[in-house]
Amino acid sequence: DTEVTQTPKHLVMGMTNKKSLKCEQHMGHRAMYWYKQKAKKPPELMFVYSYEKLSINESVPSRFSPECPNSSLLNLHLHALQPEDSALYLCASKDRNTEAFFGQGTRLTVV
Amino acid sequence: LAKTTQPISMDSYEGQEVNITCSHNNIATNDYITWYQQFPSQGPRFIIQGYKTKVTNEVASLFIPADRKSSTLSLPRVSLSDTAVYYCLVGDPHGGATNKLIFGTGTLLAVQP
């Protein structure tokens, strides 16, 4: 199984809502990543987890809260988002001697 | 982290060979060059990775000169389905989570019939 599965595929949320994005991989990869991608722009790194611990936070606003409950699962909790946070959110996983595997993303719209 | 520079866009026709260059002047000794392909509204997909000289797989070739300050992704006989954005990344693949996987601007390849 070389898949990274992200759910939901699409999400519309209001600015006062709380929602979560989920990412799952069963390749035994020890690093997991969250990216944000706006239209016609490259993916922008948000967070990196290594061995279930947050190792890199690229100065992301606190309205985005990552969580890694176990080695296969990565969540991104969303609260009080702004319309400009609308984007494609990508999850990736990687191990030391592998390339990165990306999920298909969650298309988020904040209204 | 080594910064990469690629052409913003390229045009080609079906059946032609396409070469996309990437400049990475401050590549470090432990860094590899990795190329990803991304279709609209999908996650990037690994194409090829190399350290020096030439690497070839079933979909592409990667040429890296001796000074490693640039690389060229070669796609043989492209088809319409190769229309996508191609990203060149530079980093230490053995670095685990310290490999930030930073994407540059990418090259939008448009293949015409």
pLDDT tens sequence across B102-112: 898 999 999 99
pLDDT of residue B99: 67
Cα angle value B56/A32/B63 (rounded, 5°): 15
| pLDDT of B2 above 80 | no
Which chain B positions have a beta carbon within 8 Å of A103's beta carbon? 43
User: Long-range contacts made by residues A28-31, C-beta under 8 angstroms, separation at least 24?
Assistant: A28/A71, A28/A95, A29/A93, A29/A94, A29/A95, A29/A98, A29/A101, A30/A71, A30/A95, A30/A96, A30/B96, A30/B97, A31/A93, A31/A94, A31/A95, A31/B96, A31/B97, A31/B99
pLDDT of residue B58: 95
Q: Which residue in the block uniquely carries the two structure tokens 């969540």?
A: A75
| pLDDT of A89 above 90 | yes
| pLDDT of A35 above 60 | yes
pLDDT of residue B95: 67
Query: What is the nearest CA distance from A68 to chain B, expressed in angstroms?
Result: 14
Which chain A positions have a beta carbon within 8 Å of B45's beta carbon? 102
* pLDDT average, residue stretch B90-95: 80
**Using one digit for the tens of pLDDT, what is the confidence trace for B32-41?**
999 999 999 9
Is B97 within 8 Å of A55 when comparing Cβ atoms? yes
pLDDT of residue A48: 94
Is B41 within 8 Å of A88 when comparing Cβ atoms? yes
Which chain A positions have a beta carbon within 8 Å of B34's beta carbon? 99
Measured between CB atoms, which of A33, A49, A103 is closest to B101?
Answer: A33
Does the beta carbon of A66 lie under 8 angstroms from any beta carbon of chain B?
no
| pLDDT of B64 above 90 | yes
Q: Are A35 and A89 in contact (CB under 8 A)?
A: yes
Residue in A21, A37, A102, A108 to test binding to B, most B beta-carbons within 10 Å: A102
pLDDT of residue A68: 96
* pLDDT average, residue stretch A9-24: 96
Q: What is the phi/psi pair of residue A84, to 5°?
A: -70, -10
Look up residue B88 and give its two tokens. 């060149």
Is A42 within 8 Å of B101 when comparing Cβ atoms? no
Count other Cβ atoms within 10 Å, centred on residue B63.
Answer: 17
Whole-angstrom CA distances from B14 to B11, B30, B84, B91 are 10, 37, 14, 32
| Residue closest to A21 by CA, chosen among A81, A100, A101 | A81
